[in-house]
Structure 1
């Protein structure tokens, strides 16, 4: 039974290879899914099993200025991706309602978009280090289901995106997400500089609000694309909508737990203290 399933999967993948984008076939890490799958599997193994045991009886590691440098590097990388996608899609006269993938086009702007999407995919592999740093610093509160789900699925999904649709409608979600990540990693980079900077960082909750807006826009853009009958794989459209909905649910829960409930508890605590003083 297992042999038949594997044989069918192998046959399906062989067929899928025939419709993959030939322009990126030989790009680093794109020819085979094995490196990406192995990287994500290793990530989950470290985060779920090896890391907690390794850190159990150890003091938190301090990374000093390196942590800020890491975050600001990701600011620069995401800025580059965002800039390339905006300028190249504008130069290529992309339509925000529907732009099919031009698999046979080696136009300079089409290749800039494909290259930016490859960097976007690769950035998701780099960002796996976010969790490793949280783990080594014993910030287990930040290693949530949302965090691990997001980090472990994005590299796989965007490997698929780059291999089969490195252009067209794919640009929009990557452009939005990279733009948000410029702001998010700027926040983390500044926060890593220490308490003297952290006290000025009042805008963390607005990053979550921007992320929720991002997923809502992605759903609206994809739904409009489906409605228009855009020549883009329907299963990818629906997968994008389902994936974005899962993030809206998880990020909404995170927002409520982090900012709404905590604010209520803080108000109740202040009220109780005030009541005691009056007595």
Structure 2
């Protein structure tokens, strides 16, 4: 635990201008406190609070939340589609963060901050589970994924700046969440249709697909463009994290859809 760890924790942000867009990114403490409070509530204090209470009726709140999240994610996906596909701001063979004098640098900062805020808002999913006493939905995968997305985005921006290769993560993730929150809205609005929404399992397949694509992105850069100046450690981290999430979501898919189907056929 030498000075290197201390320096990493307390070093100045890679892009200090980001703090003007999003105060939560100005220091490690706001995001750390938010996540500690989140974990304490969803894993311990929330259950104690709800122990002698009936589940709250949050249907209207959840409907509004799902619609807002669906629109929010669809908008971010649209912006990403424009700047990654239609009007490329990056070389897809080596997605470096934009230079300070790049005409789209302010957009890069704005969309990164918007994505980070969306990941913080995603934490409300688990809070709603607790208040409705839907504890079975608070899985290791669910909590780990939420914490990873908030903490991961913060530290990426803090250490490396906005944009770059990890913009592809936000691009894919925003599409997945647009579809996911649309499903949540339909199932909350019309609970009688929940059992007949056959395409629910395909949301998990799309989630697995995004991690496979992210694995391929990092692998292709490492294999065919080793001179890319995107941090090598981040390439390997993307390989590891994509593999881990593919395995975790694959395990969930097997136990939720494949195993029950096999048991019915026996």
TM (norm. structure 1) is 0.87
How far apart are 1:200 and its partner, in Å?
Answer: 4.2
How far apart are 1:93 and its partner, in Å?
Answer: 4.0
SS of match in other structure, 1:17: coil
Provide, for residues 119-148 of structure 1, a one-character-per-residue CA deviation record: whole Å limited to 9, x for no partner. 111111000000011111111111111001
Matched residues, number: 261
2:120 paired with 1:125: yes
Which of the pair has more CA radius of gyration? Answer: 1
The 3 A distance-change label for structure 1 pair 36 and 142 is: same
Map 1:1-279 to 2 at 5 A.
Answer: 5=1, 9-14=5-10, 16-17=11-12, 20-28=14-22, 29-89=24-84, 90-107=86-103, 109-163=104-158, 164-227=160-223, 228-229=225-226, 230-268=228-266
SS of match in other structure, 1:192: helix
Provide, for residues 201-237 of structure 1, a one-character-per-residue CA deviation record: whole Å limited to 9, x for no partner. 2111000011111000000011112231211111111
- Over aligned residue pairs, what C-alpha RMSD do you find? 1.9
- Cα distance in 2 for partners of 1:264, 1:204 equals 18
Provide, for residues 61-109 of structure 1, a one-character-per-residue CA deviation record: whole Å limited to 9, x for no partner. 11122211101111111111111112123424422221211242351x3
